[in-house]
Amino acid sequence: MRVTCGIDWAEDHHDVAVVDADARVVARLRISDDAAGVQELLRLLAEHGDSPEEPVPVAIETSRGLLVACLRASERQIFAINPMAVARYRDRHVVSRKKSDHQDAVVLANILRTDAQLHRSLPADSDLVRAIAVLARAQQDAVWDRTRAHNRLRSHLREYFPAIIEAFADKREHLLSREARALLWVAPTPAHAVLLTRAELKAILKRAGRQRRLDAEAERLFEVFRRDWLRQPELVETAMGHQTSALLRQLEAACRACDDLAHEAEKLFQQHPDAQIITSFPGLGSLTGARILAEIGDDRARFGQASDLKAYAGSAPVTRESGKHRHVSRRRVKNNRLAATGRHWAFSALTASPGAHAHYERRRQNGDHYHAALRHLFNRLLGQLHHCLTQRQEFNEVIAFTAVNYSLGTAA
């Protein structure tokens, strides 16, 4: 590399440094976070040898934002360097621990000058998969927001309305069910719930979408609400009911966001050529498949081997060895979104694939606990997915989980 560029990113401005092969700072600049700033940056790079045939590589501490999007459009290599790594490199040059934005830009440029081969540039993913990533990650965030809203609502209801928690304790979705939310809108306090008749309960369940066993469910709720329960003072109970209505509005918004984003993510995912291969795997539907594709991308040069993808997902173990001490444990530094999706994938595969279930049972018999066995199954499925995407072929249960493959430990 003749010159390298480092950019210290900030919210309203960015510091730029250009370093040559002899570690000399040949240019420095502070640009604004707008179109004029990008034009200044491109003009500076052009003055120091930047060209379409040999673009100057850029190191920056983030992989998102408009500045990164504009730089990616120029088809140059962009290296997103973790800020913690930048701090370690800074200590190589300055022992006084001083810090400045310009100094960090120089450090970033020097990282590419000395260790570019040790860092991975941003993948050349298509615009389609990047759009899928936006929707899939937003939907995953909405699911986590929904869980937090549900937990807050449940914690609040425990303080004055345990009957509603008991009424839906055996339901799969608990208070997230449409029936529970519809009931809370009508009866946010025990005083309201105890006045509901069987006919009113039946009407609420019907509005929530329930079609079967309406009379039996209404009778069950009627009996639950009329049991003897501890109660708060009337004035306090009314105030807590108003708080429940506020928390319920937050939960309703989170539920709508989950549903809307899931629909859009699935629709966009079906347009990708890898969708058919990904959904051929047991336990992967359109939504989980979109999450998987969002994190691994469609740049097949990004993960040259299955082991690279497994390490990125955190499913492959890591070995720490020193002298006679050797310890093998799970990875803590990983793509957390991909790891979270992998747990759901492996759990769903247990019932969708006899081979996956047999593999899981084999790991449990070998001494793995529940989470370790699931992680090992995800590790195996991920290796198979890498193979299928590389070879452009769909999942085959017979080939993936045979006695020969078990003994050889292959990822095919």
Q: Is residue 128 part of a domain?
A: no
pLDDT computed for residue 172 by the predictor: 86
Residue 180 scores a pLDDT above 50: yes
What is the pLDDT, as a whole number, of residue 362? 93
Q: What is the pLDDT of residue 404?
A: 41
In a shared domain, residues 73 and 53: yes
Check whether residue 256 and residue 238 sit in a common domain. yes
Q: Identify any residues that bridge with 218 across adjacent strands, giving them in sequence order.
A: none
pLDDT-based confidence at 409, cuts 50/70/90? very low
pLDDT bin (cut points 50, 70, 90) of residue 97 is confident
The answer to whether position 271 is within a domain reads no
Number of domains in the chain: 3
- What is the C-alpha separation between 203 and 180, in angstroms, rounded? 13
Q: Over range 13-28, report the average pLDDT.
A: 91
Statement to judge: residues 173 and 287 lie in one domain: no
In this prediction, residues 52-78 reach a mean pLDDT of 89
Does 396 lie in the same domain as 289? yes
AA letter at 253: A
In this structure, the answer to whether residues 289 and 373 fall within a common structural domain is yes
| Residue 71 near residue 20, CB atoms below 8 Å | no
> What is the radius of gyration, based on Cα positions, of the chain?
28
Residue 192 placed within a domain: yes
CA-to-CA distance for 244 and 189, rounded, in angstroms?
Answer: 9
Q: Which tens digits make up the pLDDT trace of 269-286?
A: 999 999 999 999 999 999
Secondary element (H or E) of residue 328: strand 325-329
Query: What's the pLDDT score for residue 49?
Result: 86
| Residue 92 confidence (pLDDT) above 80 | no
114 and 171 inside one domain = no
For 195-215, how does the pLDDT look when each residue is reduced to its tens digit (9 = 90+)?
A: 999 999 999 999 999 899 999
Considering the domain boundaries, does residue 180 fall inside one? yes
By C-alpha distance, which of 320, 297, 351, 133 is closest to 377? 351
CATH number assigned to the domain comprising residue 41: 3.30.420.10
DSSP 35-58: HHHHHHHHHHHHHTT--SSSPPPE
Per-residue confidence (pLDDT) for residue 1, from 0 to 100 = 56
Q: Is residue 402 predicted with pLDDT exceeding 50?
A: yes
Average per-residue pLDDT in the chain?
90
Non-local CB neighbours of 193 within 8 Å, separated by 6+ positions: 161, 163, 164, 183, 187, 225
Considering the domain boundaries, does residue 69 fall inside one? yes
pLDDT tens, residue by residue, 218-264: 999 999 999 999 999 999 999 999 999 999 999 999 999 999 999 99
Say whether both 55 and 118 belong to one domain: yes
Same-domain pairing of 139 and 261? yes
pLDDT class for 411, splitting at 50, 70, 90? very low
Assess if residue 242 is contained within a domain: yes
pLDDT band at 327 (very low <50, low <70, confident <90, very high): confident
- Note whether 206 and 318 are same-domain residues: no
DSSP state of 116: G
Within-domain flag for 127: no
Q: Are 394 and 276 in contact (CB under 8 A)?
A: yes
The residue among 96, 138, 108 whose CA lies nearest residue 290 is: 138
Instruction: Sort strands 25-32 and 58-60 into parallel, antiparallel or unpaired.
Output: unpaired
DSSP assigned state of 222: H
What pLDDT sits at residue 410? 43
Q: Is 227 strand, coil or helix?
A: coil
Query: Pick from 58, 91, 122: which residue ends a domain?
Result: 122
Q: Which comes out higher in pLDDT, residue 405 or 280?
A: 280
Q: Contact, 389 vs 375, CB < 8 A?
A: no
To the nearest 10 degrees (0 to 180), the angle between helices 178-186 and 234-269 is: 150
Residue 412 predicted with pLDDT over 50: no
Mean pLDDT of 63-68: 88
SS3 of residue 280 by DSSP: coil
Q: Are residues 198 and 256 both part of a single domain?
A: yes
Instruction: Give the max Cα distance, the chain.
Output: 84
| Domain co-membership, 259 together with 141 | yes
Is 207 inside any structural domain?
Answer: yes
| Kind plus residue range of the DSSP H or E element containing 78 | strand 78-80
Looking at residue 195, what is its pLDDT?
A: 94
CA–CA distance, 164 with 193 (Å, rounded to integer)? 9
Q: How open is the CA angle 75-100-80, to the nearest 5 degrees?
A: 25
Its pTM stands at 0.84
> What are the CA-CA distances from residue 226 to residues 22, 167, 191, 219, 354 (Å)?
82, 11, 10, 11, 47
Phi and psi at 173, nearest 5°, equal: -95, -5
Q: Which of 213, 237, 266 is the last residue of a domain?
A: 266
Q: Which amino acid is at 1?
A: M
The answer, yes or no, to whether residue 189 has pLDDT greater than 90, is yes
State the residue range of the domain holding 196.
133-266
pLDDT value for 109: 93
* The last residue of a domain, from among 122, 154, 184: 122
pLDDT bin (cut points 50, 70, 90) of residue 326 is confident
Say which range, 43-47, 211-215, 322-326, 378-382, has the weakest mean pLDDT.
Answer: 322-326
pLDDT(408) > 50: no
Residues contacting residue 85 through CB under 8 Å, at least 6 positions apart: 111
**107/140 same-domain check:** no
CA distance linking residue 412 with residue 389, whole number of Å = 11
Confidence of residue 322 (pLDDT cuts 50, 70, 90): confident
